[in-house]
Amino acid sequence: MGRQWVGPRLDYHGGQSMQGISEQPTSRPPEKRMPFSDLWKPHTPIPRRYYLATMVLSLGGLFLVWCVLSYGGFVKPSYFLPSPTAVVSAALRMIETGELWENAQASITVVVIGWIIAALLAVPLGILMGSLKIVEALLEPIVNFVRYLPVSAMIPLLILYIGIGIEEKISVIFIGTFFQLILLVADVAAHVGNDLLDSAYTLGSSRLRVLTTVLLPATLPGVMDALRITLGWAWTYLIVAELVAAEHGLGIMILQSQRGLRTDKIFVGLVTIGLLGFASDILVKWLHRRLLPWSPRIR
């Protein structure tokens, strides 16, 4: 490995480095292994291969328990816990007939539309509620009152006001997520440091400019986390949303399978909801990394 003159280099702050002779390595140094004890340090990033391996181990452990309980004869497979083979066979039959895709498509439509409408309204209102005390005094009593009401108790009123079409099901998802989301976003906005806002005011920024260039970017990482949480809640309200007069959907499919003791189809519906929810969670995390590079969650 020889020495080569590469000229003066700029340091990190833009000045010239005094070291004019640099070594030209021929190979990359080997990556250091992370000590096992460092895996348990709070807020310490770990190598991606460790992260993925732990995820696979977690899912594999759950699947192993399922196999042991069903194939080992610890529970009655036909009524209580169908085997993975029975669930896969039922899923393949439903895929061939188109039943699974038809129900999944109907549920995805209801969940996505209801959640998007809730997000479009709750995010700006939550930021204003967490930033302006006058807006907090105006909205907080209503939000805190409605968010404790069970969504299932509102179904008779929704049927009376809206009907039994898809609008009623979307409204159930909206009510179940909107009032929780607005409070989460308000809490994120309220915890933005005053030093950031005061610095912007000191530099002569207007209130509108502080809101758009300081407060909004500071709250967006927390807002993405709140959206991710409420998207999971939207999937949990699916059964309630499809409880009344639903023709298609994973929720009504599960309820109909319950009446016929078709536990294999129930598991197909549950696994499908879990996979769709897991995929939507990964999508939101990916958007978080792509759209918010300044977020502390991706460092």
The CA distances from residue 258 to 70, 235, 253, in Å, are 19, 19, 9
Structure tokens belonging to residue 130: 């967490």
SS3 assignment, position 243: coil
- Asked whether residue 155 carries a pLDDT value surpassing 70, the answer given is yes
Contact (CB, 8 A) for 261 and 79: yes
| Homologous superfamily (CATH) for 81-290 | MetI-like (1.10.3720.10)
- Asked whether residue 121 carries a pLDDT value surpassing 60, the answer given is yes
DSSP string computed for 261-276: T-HHHHHHHHHHHHHH
- Which DSSP helix (H) or strand (E) runs through 75? none
- Alpha-carbon distance of 277 to 264, in angstroms, equals 20
Candidates 264, 242, 237; CA nearest to 255 is 242
Give the residue-averaged pLDDT of 269-274: 91
- Asked whether residue 231 carries a pLDDT value surpassing 80, the answer given is yes
Q: Which of 24-28, 33-37, 63-67, 274-278 has the lowest mean pLDDT?
A: 24-28
- Specify the higher pLDDT residue, 199 or 135: 135
Query: How is residue 149 annotated by DSSP?
Result: S
- Asked whether residue 10 carries a pLDDT value surpassing 80, the answer given is no
Tens-place pLDDT, residues 14-61: 444 444 444 455 555 555 677 766 677 777 777 888 888 888 999 899
Please tell me the total number of residues recorded for the chain in this structure: 299
Kindly state the percentage of the chain with pLDDT values over 90: 29
- Asked whether residue 238 carries a pLDDT value surpassing 70, the answer given is yes
Question: What is the predicted pLDDT for the residue at 248?
Answer: 84
- Asked whether residue 11 carries a pLDDT value surpassing 50, the answer given is no
Question: What is the predicted pLDDT for the residue at 27?
Answer: 54
Give the residue-averaged pLDDT of 101-108: 92
Question: What is the predicted pLDDT for the residue at 272?
Answer: 92
What is the band of 226 on the pLDDT scale with cuts at 50, 70, 90?
very high
What is the band of 1 on the pLDDT scale with cuts at 50, 70, 90?
very low
Question: What is the predicted pLDDT for the residue at 262?
Answer: 82
Is the whole-model pTM more than 0.85? no
Computed on alpha carbons and rounded to an integer, the radius of gyration of the chain in Å comes to 26
- Asked whether residue 158 carries a pLDDT value surpassing 90, the answer given is no
Question: What is the predicted pLDDT for the residue at 150?
Answer: 87
**Whole-number average pLDDT of the chain:** 81
- Domain borders along the chain are 81-290
What is the band of 183 on the pLDDT scale with cuts at 50, 70, 90?
very high
Question: What is the predicted pLDDT for the residue at 260?
Answer: 75
Question: What is the predicted pLDDT for the residue at 71?
Answer: 83
